[in-house]
Amino acid sequence: MTDTQRNSPATRAASASPVLAIQDLSVSFHGRSGENQALKGISFDIHPGEIVAVVGESGSGKSVTSLAVMGLLANNGRVDGGSMQFRDRSGKMHALEKLDDAQRRTLRGREMAMIFQEPMTSLNPVLRIDDQLTEALRDHQQCDRKQAHARVRELLRQVRIADVDRVMKSYPHSLSGGMRQRVMIAQALACDPQLLIADEPTTALDVTVQARILHILRELQREKQMAVLFITHDMGVVAEIADRVVVMLRGEVVEQGTVSEIFAAPQHAYTKALLAAVPKLGDMREHR
């Protein structure tokens, strides 16, 4: 991203109250072999209109963070300490770690939404796309089937799908990986959430399709002024899409700051190793 992008309205919005404030969050999983502490007192904020990338290797805790926020931890996982304060569109604060299942379901979709790495695990293989998106809309919004269908068409156009009629009548398996991911983005945006979580949404895609999906996400985020939590292991992706970056290692936050700050002068050895692993980033930092 350029310095001009860093000074965009989306970035300046960071001075507002955070949409999500994570403070000293600890999460553990319990199994036959004992306890595994996945998160060890992590803290960071996400503000309106900005994209925060959480980056780290497999097992660093980045995906556990997103699942904890969404209330989707496995049955053997638990929040041991800390807080996750979420501000909804009315300004009301919610302590996510204290919500019951019904309260979480109310927030999911309407106020918070998530895009997963592999759409085929989230899309119903026996339902056509129009039926799936219409069903999701009617679950969260008071609208009849005709209104829901019109909204589905609008959403698919928003994610730059040209042949809307064909896609609406298709089953997930008949669509390309990139097209399925666009459908997942459309579904996540159905209720205009305050917070969008994207967990490695482009990892399984080839480079060209990945670039298109990142561009679509960035454009939609700017249009809607959403807060986005973007999970990735790839510093090249961070450079393309994020305003700020949180670097995680073995369940801890080891460094965080604006993308410009982290790329220009990384402090932690692990951050330096991540940047060194992507040759192009050396040239990118020189031109900032």
Please indicate, yes or no, if residue 285 is contained in any of the structural domains.
no
- Which one-letter amino acid corresponds to residue 251? G
Among 30, 39, 34, 52, residue whose Cα is nearest residue 82: 39
Region 172-199: mean pLDDT is 92
Please indicate, yes or no, if residue 139 is contained in any of the structural domains.
yes
pLDDT band for 248, please (50, 70, 90 cuts): very high
Please indicate, yes or no, if residue 31 is contained in any of the structural domains.
yes
Instruction: Indicate whether 211 and 262 sit together in one domain.
Output: yes
Distance, CA of 79 to CA of 83 (rounded, Å): 9
Residue 135 pLDDT > 70: yes
Please indicate, yes or no, if residue 284 is contained in any of the structural domains.
no
Confidence (pTM): 0.87
Distance, CA of 11 to CA of 222 (rounded, Å): 10
Between 85 and 134, the higher pLDDT residue: 85
Instruction: Indicate whether 134 and 107 sit together in one domain.
Output: no
Pull the structure tokens for residue 173: 């398996």
Query: What does the pLDDT read at residue 259?
Result: 96
Query: What does the pLDDT read at residue 209?
Result: 86
Region 23-49: mean pLDDT is 95
pLDDT band for 163, please (50, 70, 90 cuts): very high
Query: What does the pLDDT read at residue 64?
Result: 97
Instruction: Indicate whether 154 and 30 sit together in one domain.
Output: no
Please indicate, yes or no, if residue 8 is contained in any of the structural domains.
no
Residue 153 pLDDT > 60: yes
Query: What does the pLDDT read at residue 169?
Result: 96
Instruction: Indicate whether 188 and 220 sit together in one domain.
Output: no
Residues in the chain: 288
Any idea of the CA torsion for 228, 229, 235, 240, to the nearest 10 degrees? -10
Q: How many domains does the chain have?
A: 2
Instruction: Indicate whether 67 and 161 sit together in one domain.
Output: no
Instruction: Indicate whether 199 and 235 sit together in one domain.
Output: yes
161, 192, 223: which is the final residue of a domain? 192
Angle at the Cα of 24 (from 18 to 28), degrees rounded to 5? 120
Instruction: Indicate whether 59 and 132 sit together in one domain.
Output: no
Residue 80 pLDDT > 70: yes
Region 64-84: mean pLDDT is 96
Instruction: Indicate whether 106 and 244 sit together in one domain.
Output: yes
Query: What does the pLDDT read at residue 15?
Result: 54
Residue 246 pLDDT > 70: yes
- In terms of average pLDDT, the best of 12-21, 115-124, 171-180, 204-213 is 171-180
- Which one-letter amino acid corresponds to residue 272? K
Q: List, in order, residues 6 or more apart from 141 with CB less than 8 Å away.
A: 148, 151, 190, 191
- In terms of average pLDDT, the best of 137-141, 188-192, 260-264 is 260-264
Least confident of 9-18, 47-56, 111-120: 9-18
Instruction: Indicate whether 171 and 107 sit together in one domain.
Output: no
Q: What domain range is 148 assigned to?
A: 122-192
Region 159-165: mean pLDDT is 93
Instruction: Indicate whether 142 and 96 sit together in one domain.
Output: no
Please indicate, yes or no, if residue 231 is contained in any of the structural domains.
yes
H helices of the chain, where? Answer: 3-6, 9-12, 62-70, 101-107, 129-140, 145-158, 164-168, 177-188, 207-224, 235-241, 259-264, 269-276, 280-286
Query: What does the pLDDT read at residue 279?
Result: 64
Q: What is the mean pLDDT of the chain?
A: 88
Region 243-259: mean pLDDT is 98
Query: What does the pLDDT read at residue 137?
Result: 83
Phi and psi at 104, nearest 5°, equal -65, -45
Instruction: Indicate whether 44 and 102 sit together in one domain.
Output: yes
Please indicate, yes or no, if residue 209 is contained in any of the structural domains.
yes
192, 223, 253: which is the final residue of a domain? 192
Query: What does the pLDDT read at residue 207?
Result: 85
192, 209, 241: which is the final residue of a domain? 192
Instruction: Indicate whether 86 and 143 sit together in one domain.
Output: no
Please indicate, yes or no, if residue 15 is contained in any of the structural domains.
no
